[in-house]
Chains A and B, each alone.
Chain A
């Protein structure tokens, strides 16, 4: 019996398992760095499901033989972990396009296919185990090429359709993100990820397609896991080193304006040319005051404007009633990532200019906007990724 392959797989497994655990813990501890906690959680689930659950069940089902039923059960669990990872990765991909704006159709299909897959896996003989040698003892270390799993027609078909849909979705998102992005180099990791994952998925499809032919002899399955683990290693490094890509790509910030409650523009910053600008900002200030005046007649005074949607951008408004100013950010789409950044910035702004803001709480006082002229550093510190 050849022991090189199983030993290599086990060494690889321990490496991937440790990496999976490390990256999962790292993401959970630094979840705020991923834009929102939800984004961090989604990354952690993907990493854990692929590196820990899938890898463990895969190894248990191909390198060890316990009993036919148990091995098949482990194999089914590894399939489920694989598809759960694919769905969470699809969610992450969709967030590259637009955060928390999920196109419902792909995910409705995925959910249906996941249900179909689980239903099919619950049926008897959905997966059969073929052993190339006869074994006497109950738990044995085995050459993976001697242990093969055959899918029945329904399971095989569902898995193939599912994975084809996933590949199409990854590639579609990568192309859309690349076309939309002004800085093409920023989208390179997304494109690379889409291609690498697509190759891995294609190998899995080939394994299902050629399961009963001689092709299985050339270890497509083992090739699949090796390439998957290499890709996993690369992606893990990217997730740890570049958490900002999860919130920089889907968001664009055009400008930041701060208005006093009297409507006077305190400060304005344009991200497009990184300058302090005033012309258009004064208009928005007027518009905002105007809208608030009109709406206060018709609505509850507490019901203030959250976002003004325009054809080009979303104008997100954050009122700081205690300090008497409003922070207005023009962005491509209002979402919790932008709101978090605004909250942090506003907190620091209030802290830094506490005295100045207290002085102008009385609207009869003359406002000296030059007192806020050094705000540029604070903006560049909080929004540096969008510069």
Chain B
């Protein structure tokens, strides 16, 4: 009975979230690899919560309930492992040991998986209308507890140390709340495994639904969640081969930069580069600085180049700049071809609407 209530609420939240995201899919953008991992994560979460609740139902015979319980343990570890790994990797992007937490999770996950093959790992007992599972295999219980402990510990260390890496601080604060809920959730789950107690189980399920509900709410509210986890764009600069600055936009102030502010040095720089443009265009892809990356995109036919200053270069960003350049070339083709004599750069103010269109995810809160 309780299981069916929990599962129903869970299904309602998920179905609502999936329908919303599907109907508004244009708003969401993410790298294919990242999206695949997120889908695997959600499938694991769905499988976990349903199997966790169903495994207690005496409607099933003991062997079948035990199989469902095994599924719940595997998917639980898989889902929290995936989520923690993504979080840790993204926030630790520039760290030399960024893969270490994920490797530790996979390593302990492997031990758990092996231990699940040990016969009679659980003692199934029936209390009232529910099954409860007592651990006979202490190695399995210990490895699950260590796994949960590592996830909570590493995630908090990385969250605190890497908070400044969040491109959108509001998202960072949201994530801290979500992590607090998840940590409590993991704690209650661990307590339930150690002492199969109904209250721990119910509290865990309620908190789980609140966390998932909160997460779905945020996905709906912030469609840029997948594209700007830690990435950030600072400036977009477009200049012509003659050395003239055609357009410049600052993503932090969300304002166009007046060309009169771009004094001497930038013009010297442009003329230096453009004097060698034929050598540069086929070669330079991007420049790495200490904390930033400068992505270059040249258009040789129309003789202009775009320079994007961002925190990291990724495929999503490259795709956005390619689309932007294509559109910019199309609508300004004639103006760019006829750039002679007195040049009116105000023609290129139309770039702002293109920025809003192609870089909308990166126009984060100030």
Contact = CB atoms under 8 A, between A and B. Distances in A.
Interface of A: 104, 107-108, 111-120, 122-124, 154, 158, 263, 280, 283, 286-287, 289-299, 303-312
A116 B110 contact: yes
**Which of the listed residues B108, B114, B266, B307 has the most CB atoms from chain A within 10 Å of its own CB?**
B114
Given A122-B139, A287-B273, A303-B289, A116 B103 contact: no
Chain A contact surface mostly = helix
Contacts of B271: 290
A114 B286 CA distance: 38
Contacts of A305: 287-289
Contacts of B112: 119
Nearest to B239: A294
A295 B114 contact: no
Interface stretch (B204-212, B219-227, B276-284, B334-342): B276-284
A297 B265 contact: yes
Interface stretch (B4-12, B126-134, B290-298, B348-356): B290-298
B143 A119 contact: yes
A325 to B, nearest CB: 18
A115 B262 contact: no
B237 interface: yes
Nearest to A316: B288
**Which of the listed residues B99, B118, B263, B309 has the most CB atoms from chain A within 10 Å of its own CB?**
B118
A164 to B, nearest CB: 17
A112 B272 contact: no
B265 A122 contact: no
A114 B111 CA distance: 8
B282 to A, nearest CB: 7
A309 B235 contact: no
Given A108-B106, A114-B110, 16 more contacts: A108-B103, A111-B103, A111-B106, A115-B106, A120-B117, A290-B268, A290-B273, A291-B273, A292-B269, A294-B266, A295-B269, A298-B234, A304-B289, A308-B288, A309-B287, A310-B285
B289 A287 contact: no
Given A112-B106, A114-B107, A115-B109, A297 B272 contact: no
A108 to B, nearest CB: 6
B115 interface: yes
A119 B110 contact: yes
Contacts of B268: 289-290, 293
A141 B274 CA distance: 80
Contact of A113 (B110, B262, B274, B284): B110
Contact of B309 (A263, A289, A299): A299
B110 A291 contact: no
Contacts of B307: 294
A85 to B, nearest CB: 17
Contacts of B291: 303
10 contacts: A112-B107, A115-B113, A120-B114, A289-B272, A292-B269, A298-B235, A298-B237, A299-B289, A299-B309, A310-B285
A291 B285 contact: no
B275 interface: yes
Contacts of B316: none
A294 B270 CA distance: 7
B272 A306 contact: no
A303 B114 contact: no
Given A113-B110, A122-B111, A293-B265, A286 B272 contact: yes
**Which of the listed residues B112, B117, B237 has the most CB atoms from chain A within 10 Å of its own CB?**
B117
A311 B270 contact: no
Contacts of A111: 103, 106-107, 110
A171 B329 CA distance: 48
